[in-house]
């Protein structure tokens, strides 16, 4: 793939669509477009060029194809656009929630792959139809471009069965595919590579615990470049305490609530949208900034939420470190992991027993990429900003380059035979 080549990255949610155009050689983000409230007649659209907002307005976007069409027109606008023609875009990377057990790496999308993605809809009933819709919309607007699916689950496919299976009867795995998949794979993968580069070592020789801490949060034990275990499960509800999600709970809590008369949808809503920092903090916010400031001001429920959040993360970092035979580094990323020194301090102040010696000043003042452990700390602690979209662009570029090389090889072999 040529260095000047443009890669479009699409993140298509149930009612939103985010688009980012990269110049792959310079890793430069040329433009972004975001449309939310798709399906209503008052969708909100933002278009930015080189990080500067150029257009923000209410639009009528009945579906994802219309939303995509609207934003792409700005990409070629003579005044505020960044390319002359949509033909300049030959490769499109799609963020896809679930690859099930079928997809272990990023994959070129053809009709068979679309069929397989449809088969996976039950594993992600909210996200998968939107992800497929994004691919179909691109096929209409960019009929000659190659589409590549980059899966949130793929990086975690290296987990051994004893980490990924639940100890329930085998038939539930065999019949319904119920097992741990893990999510945020693109981010865990990105920071694994970036932290290794930062440490001047190859990922294949490092043992890391990567902590993606945002509204949605997950940790991964990454041994020699491959995921060994991760905190999210069949769905992104499992694991640590999140902005509005409970993380792991005794499964019998659900049964108890069913017996109290709650429906599956009500429990789903409570665990996904009303729980976590929001549900415990008692301040009508699941935003870590509000939790930290209220905890500091003495609000007991906010302090409890923060303590629960840190407790669970310390538990997993210690456990994962032990599972991979001792970590070389703990890597923090995501909105909280990168920005909230108070939240990080809560965790790091309890990790000396596994060899993490926090540099308090560095932790409270530095911004990533950086070390926040002392130079003599046996285990390094690193803040590494994530960039999931850049990772999708890079993987798309690799898949399309490999595809083009295989076509060239086939053509050369055919010419030779003739």
What is the binding site for ligand ADP (CB under 6 A)?
214-216, 243, 287-289, 334-336, 339-340
Smallest gap from Cβ 368 to ligand ADP, in A, equals 12
Cβ-contact 75, 83 below 8 angstroms: yes
Exposed / middle / buried, residue 170 (Cβ in 10 Å: 0-12, 13-18, 19+): exposed
Structure tokens at 143: 């009929």
CB atoms near residue 90 (< 10 Å): 17
DSSP result, 179-195 = S---S-HHHHHHHHHHH
Q: Is 152 a catalytic residue?
A: yes
**Which runs of E-coded beta strand occur in 248-400?**
329-333, 370-371, 380-383
Question: Edge-to-edge strand order for the sheet containing 207-213?
Answer: 226-230, 217-223, 207-213, 329-333, 380-383, 370-371
Smallest gap from Cβ 154 to ligand ADP, in A, equals 19
HSE, side-chain direction, 13 A CA sphere, residue 268:
6
CA distance 118 to 115: 5
- Give the residue nearest to ligand ADP (CB): 335
Structure tokens at 191: 């920071």
Smallest gap from Cβ 127 to ligand ADP, in A, equals 14
Please, which residue, 38 or 292, has the CB nearer to ligand ADP?
292
Smallest gap from Cβ 213 to ligand ADP, in A, equals 7
Per the DSSP assignment, residues forming a β-bridge with 32 are: 20, 48
List the one residue out of 140, 310, 156, 145 whose CA is nearest residue 240. Answer: 310
Please, which residue, 216 or 368, has the CB nearer to ligand ADP?
216
Which residue do the tokens 């440490």 mark?
A: 199
Cβ-contact 87, 144 below 8 angstroms: yes
Active-site residue identified among 152, 229, 238, 387? 152
Please, which residue, 135 or 242, has the CB nearer to ligand ADP?
242
Which residues, 6+ apart, have CB-to-CB distance to 199 below 8 Å? 206, 328, 329, 380, 382
CA distance 5 to 70: 22
Please, which residue, 292 or 399, has the CB nearer to ligand ADP?
292
Please, which residue, 158 or 235, has the CB nearer to ligand ADP?
235
Smallest gap from Cβ 296 to ligand ADP, in A, equals 13
DSSP result, 263-321 = -HHHHHHHHHHS-HHHHHH-SS---HHHHHHHHHTT-HHHHHHHHHHHHHHHHHHHHHH
DSSP code, position 38: B
Q: For residue 71, which phi and psi values (nearest 5 degrees)?
A: -70, -40
Smallest gap from Cβ 390 to ligand ADP, in A, equals 15
Please, which residue, 225 or 337, has the CB nearer to ligand ADP?
337
Please report which residue ranges of 165-251 form alpha helices under DSSP H. 170-176, 185-199
Please, which residue, 50 or 364, has the CB nearer to ligand ADP?
364
CA distance 353 to 274: 34
Please, which residue, 207 or 212, has the CB nearer to ligand ADP?
212
Cβ-contact 130, 166 below 8 angstroms: no
Smallest gap from Cβ 193 to ligand ADP, in A, equals 19
Catalytic residues, by residue number, are: 152
């Amino acid at each position: 793939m040529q260095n000047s080549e443009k890669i479009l990255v699409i993140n298509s949610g149930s009612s939103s669509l985010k688009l980012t155009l990269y110049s792959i050689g310079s890793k430069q983000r040329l433009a972004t477009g975001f449309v939310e409230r798709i399906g209503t007649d008052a969708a909100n659209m933002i278009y930015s060029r080189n990080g500067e907002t150029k257009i923000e307005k209410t639009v009528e976007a009945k579906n994802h194809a219309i939303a995509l069409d609207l934003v792409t027109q700005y990409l070629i606008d003579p005044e505020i656009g960044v390319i002359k023609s949509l033909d300049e875009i030959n490769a499109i990377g799609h963020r896809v929630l679930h690859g099930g057990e079928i997809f272990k790496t990023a994959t070129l999308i053809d009709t068979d792959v679309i069929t397989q993605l449809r088969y996976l809809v039950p594993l992600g009933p909210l996200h998968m139809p939107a992800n497929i819709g994004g691919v179909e919309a691109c096929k209409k607007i960019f009929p000659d471009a190659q589409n590549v699916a980059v899966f949130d689950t793929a990086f975690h496919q290296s987990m051994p069965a004893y980490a990924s299976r639940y100890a329930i009867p085998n038939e539930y795995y065999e019949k319904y595919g119920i097992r741990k998949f893990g999510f945020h794979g693109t981010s865990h993968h990105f920071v694994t590579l970036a932290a290794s580069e930062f440490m001047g070592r190859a990922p294949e020789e490092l043992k890391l615990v990567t902590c993606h801490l945002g509204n949605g949060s997950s940790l991964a034990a990454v041994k020699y470049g491959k995921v060994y275990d991760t905190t999210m499960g069949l769905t992104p509800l499992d694991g640590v305490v999140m902005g509005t999600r409970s993380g792991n709970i005794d499964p019998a809590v659900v049964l108890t609530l069913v017996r109290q008369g709650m429906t599956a949808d009500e429990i789903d809503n409570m665990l996904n949208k009303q729980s976590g920092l929001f549900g415990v903090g008692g301040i009508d916010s699941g935003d870590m900034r509000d939790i930290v400031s209220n905890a500091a001001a003495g609000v007991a429920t906010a302090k409890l939420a923060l303590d629960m959040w840190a407790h669970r993360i310390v538990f997993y970092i210690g456990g994962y470190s032990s599972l991979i035979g001792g970590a070389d580094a703990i890597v923090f990323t995501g909105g909280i992991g990168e920005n909230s020194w108070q939240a990080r301090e809560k965790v790091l102040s309890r990790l000396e027993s596994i060899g993490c010696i926090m540099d308090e000043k560095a932790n409270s003042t530095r911004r990533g990429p950086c070390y926040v452990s002392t130079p003599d700390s046996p285990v390094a602690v690193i803040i590494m900003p994530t960039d999931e979209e850049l990772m999708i662009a890079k993987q798309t570029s690799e898949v399309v380059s490999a595809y083009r090389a295989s076509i060239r090889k086939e053509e050369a072999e055919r010419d030779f035979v003739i």
